[in-house]
Structure 1
């Protein structure tokens, strides 16, 4: 979730100074886009995967600090809850066997972490929301021991001035509340990064927004929370509600939430950073000593610390990223739509679909967003999260259509073409997109498998709690095989 903070106590003066510094950073970035060479060349991608820790009974295990200390692997970091880890897979090119190498990196890293966790009788689960989680697990005392997380909790809860109210109506209904953002630790995701040239950023971001509903429908893996069956991808409404810093009056006035799909297509990355500054007050106004103007004028590349920190507290489902590596700046689209899991193969198949579709749609002329309204793209996003692989989506030239039909007849050929443009090995292209086709053919993804397995267990007379434990144990067994979820038996 970002860097630790030096201090977690902020004054009104800090906020004013921080806002001015963000503006200064944004002005510098604006000039850099016209005058400084950004990293481009062969497409480079990265992956982040959030992971749950469970004990022998498949209940959450609050052990991340000791496991991380014993593991000593810098690729793994703590996440919000003490039962969460994050794996940062080193970035690499996508051409050739790049996607297969990503999968092997994930498997190797998970194997090492699993061995370490096993010493403490813990196991690793890649799932969007841990099915055995209860409200008693997501309390302030179970936040990771990290100053930034506690500062975020204090700032968001303080800004709201009231409890966070949750009301999700799905297959069943969940109504609850919390006085902390700790429940957000329920949400574990897989995040994809794609590095792009400045002139190409807007087209890649728009394409990412256009296919977000498709991603959710095919990749949904979060049907259960607190013992209730809700949406296929319950992460989406839950994350939006569990971290909503707006008082109810601000929400009624139409003030934008910090967890945000957006409200328009863009022409430049600057559009998104301008919106950050215009719509969202600072949450963590930590000032850095860097003077971005002085650094730029000296011929060096500024880090733009405040711009990046503020951007990190606006939770767009597709987020802009400015970063510096090897003393050169670059831009990335961070795709935050999908849940973790079910397997490394499924995660990389989701990545192949995303990278291939975005590459193809970003190069099309006219682009898909010239005929797909932004409101329609957001409606697809909601439908994909709510209904999962049974969703019907709207697509230009097709109308309203089952997502499985849309993908098999329209989007998979485009993803094939996009992966070819990226230079992906045909064998890996066909294997990974074959996993996506398999989900469409069988109508099975992580969410539908979980729901069917629980329903079968309940039909045998198990209680909901016992059915969720049994299903999670079976999920763990299948996950270890790395067979994609559409091949799992019920």
Structure 2
């Protein structure tokens, strides 16, 4: 959800003071990377899943306050839209049988939340973009009651000084304007956290950037938006355009958007926080009373809240995270590439692939990013998002290669090796990476199933809206079955 804020608008003086405070925080952070002990023993992982609420008509249900009250679990929180909630999973290691135990915990928690939501008349759907969402749903009171969201909405439009333009060309074409950031709420994702040491951060972040394209081809699950079939993972382009603070003229000048893949390999986590200060104006310029220099001089870890808050409004697909828990600072790579769903077991298969492959790619003697341009990694990201199961990538040692061949021949064995280094038992590795293997063999992911199912229903004579609603019903059944999406049948 992000850090809380108190205000929704800010003065010029507040913005100037905030900029100065962020720079002070950055200076202190640079010193900490050299002098301070960061919390890092065994590698730790964390997980967040964003979810949608639908009503009995399978349309978005603007009821998250009521549903969260019924769930009564602090692990479930609000998200931007009133039809969104977020599920946060406590950090843990992955060794032994812990991933299998995590699957059972996730299913139990989500089943409990679903049962409580059903009592209120809502159903929970885990999907990248809710296919029954329409622009008219934003004509109601759609935004969650949280000052942070109102402040972000105000900040984006204060910077743009004009309506947002959505222009996404895929299988079909969507072009529309919006006078709020409401379309951003359509983007629901899975966020994978990896706690690392300062010395290892750059290698892990670079490896995660390399993996982003294959992740999308493997896990795409967002082919429809506002009734149009667009990209396999439309969520990535929607998020970029729905939060864009730039006017057309600024885009033409090459000004960077808040949703940012990046532009170079890094040598330190400091590179990314420094880019934040250099390139991105503050959206939520709210200052605290903390004196970071004094806290550091006292031998303690400062919160660096201004730096953290600013970082929270730069939406990198692999975001650097600085946090302090129980007085100890730590660093994380937050992987934001994947959409939510389709099932718990699919989410964990995607996570197993990511954690295992990153572990090996980050520790190779000659890392892949020394043999591959950053532009090639960005092109792979775009290809994975646009084409999903039809994506072709550039990869050192392969040249142009289809996503399934790349994963089967190169990345899947690396993922298995990486999980073995984590101490994950072989039967657990086989379970989750076997799902990855079978998705590659069948060339099927969530986006493929959604698109093929809607096409089949339209051939039966259903309208697009009716086909999307019927598809969502079938999707819900598959989601609750916890059978991997590549095994789901397409209506004949």
Same fold (TM over 0.5): yes
> In structure 2, what is the equivalent of residue 390 of structure 1?
390
Q: Deviations over 1:273-315 (max 9, x none)?
A: 0000000011100101111111111111111100100000000
**1:68 aligned onto 2:68:** yes
> In structure 2, what is the equivalent of residue 442 of structure 1?
442
**Where do residues 201-216 of structure 1 align in structure 2 (5 Å cutoff)?**
201-216=201-216
State the alpha-carbon separation in 2 of the partners of residues 99 and 17 from structure 1. Answer: 45
**Where do residues 3-14 of structure 1 align in structure 2 (5 Å cutoff)?**
3-14=3-14
State the alpha-carbon separation in 1 of the partners of residues 417 and 403 from structure 2. Answer: 19
How much does 1:389 deviate? Answer: 1.3
Q: Normalising to structure 1: TM-score of the pair? A: 0.99
State the alpha-carbon separation in 2 of the partners of residues 387 and 220 from structure 1. Answer: 9
**Where do residues 253-264 of structure 1 align in structure 2 (5 Å cutoff)?**
253-264=253-264
> In structure 1, what is the equivalent of residue 291 of structure 2?
291
Tell me if the contact between 1:52 and 1:126 (Cα under 8 Å) persists in the aligned partners.
yes
How much does 1:101 deviate? Answer: 2.5
> In structure 2, what is the equivalent of residue 147 of structure 1?
147
Q: 1:211 is paired with a residue of what secondary structure? A: helix
> In structure 2, what is the equivalent of residue 340 of structure 1?
340
Q: Deviations over 1:349-401 (max 9, x none)?
A: 00000000100000001100001110000000000000001111111000111
How much does 1:57 deviate? Answer: 1.9
> In structure 1, what is the equivalent of residue 240 of structure 2?
240
How much does 1:326 deviate? Answer: 1.9
**1:79 aligned onto 2:84:** no
State the alpha-carbon separation in 1 of the partners of residues 102 and 246 from structure 2. Answer: 39
**1:115 aligned onto 2:115:** yes
Q: Report the aligned-residue RMSD.
A: 0.9
> In structure 2, what is the equivalent of residue 53 of structure 1?
53
> In structure 1, what is the equivalent of residue 321 of structure 2?
321
Tell me if the contact between 1:140 and 1:182 (Cα under 8 Å) persists in the aligned partners.
no
**Where do residues 339-418 of structure 1 align in structure 2 (5 Å cutoff)?**
339-418=339-418
> In structure 2, what is the equivalent of residue 460 of structure 1?
460
State the alpha-carbon separation in 1 of the partners of residues 255 and 37 from structure 2. Answer: 37
Q: Deviations over 1:5-54 (max 9, x none)?
A: 12222111111111111111111111111111111121100000000001
State the alpha-carbon separation in 1 of the partners of residues 380 and 428 from structure 2. Answer: 29
423-432 or 277-286, larger mean C-alpha shift: 423-432
**Where do residues 426-441 of structure 1 align in structure 2 (5 Å cutoff)?**
426-441=426-441
How much does 1:180 deviate? Answer: 0.7
> In structure 1, what is the equivalent of residue 33 of structure 2?
33
State the alpha-carbon separation in 1 of the partners of residues 387 and 139 from structure 2. Answer: 29
Q: Deviations over 1:130-155 (max 9, x none)?
A: 01010112357201111110010001
State the alpha-carbon separation in 2 of the partners of residues 280 and 310 from structure 1. Answer: 9
Tell me if the contact between 2:292 and 2:302 (Cα under 8 Å) persists in the aligned partners.
yes
1:140–1:182 Cα change, 3 Å: farther
312-321 or 248-257, larger mean C-alpha shift: 248-257
Q: 1:337 is paired with a residue of what secondary structure? A: coil
203-212 or 99-108, larger mean C-alpha shift: 99-108
Q: 2:360 is paired with a residue of what secondary structure? A: helix
Unaligned runs of 5+ in 1: none
State the alpha-carbon separation in 2 of the partners of residues 387 and 319 from structure 1. Answer: 24
Tell me if the contact between 1:138 and 1:186 (Cα under 8 Å) persists in the aligned partners.
no
Tell me if the contact between 2:45 and 2:91 (Cα under 8 Å) persists in the aligned partners.
yes
> In structure 1, what is the equivalent of residue 277 of structure 2?
277
Count of matched residue positions in the alignment of Structure 1 and Structure 2? 490
State the alpha-carbon separation in 1 of the partners of residues 167 and 245 from structure 2. Answer: 16
Q: Normalising to structure 2: TM-score of the pair? A: 0.98
How much does 1:3 deviate? Answer: 2.3
State the alpha-carbon separation in 2 of the partners of residues 316 and 93 from structure 1. Answer: 25
Q: 2:124 is paired with a residue of what secondary structure? A: strand
Tell me if the contact between 1:138 and 1:185 (Cα under 8 Å) persists in the aligned partners.
no
74-83 or 131-140, larger mean C-alpha shift: 131-140
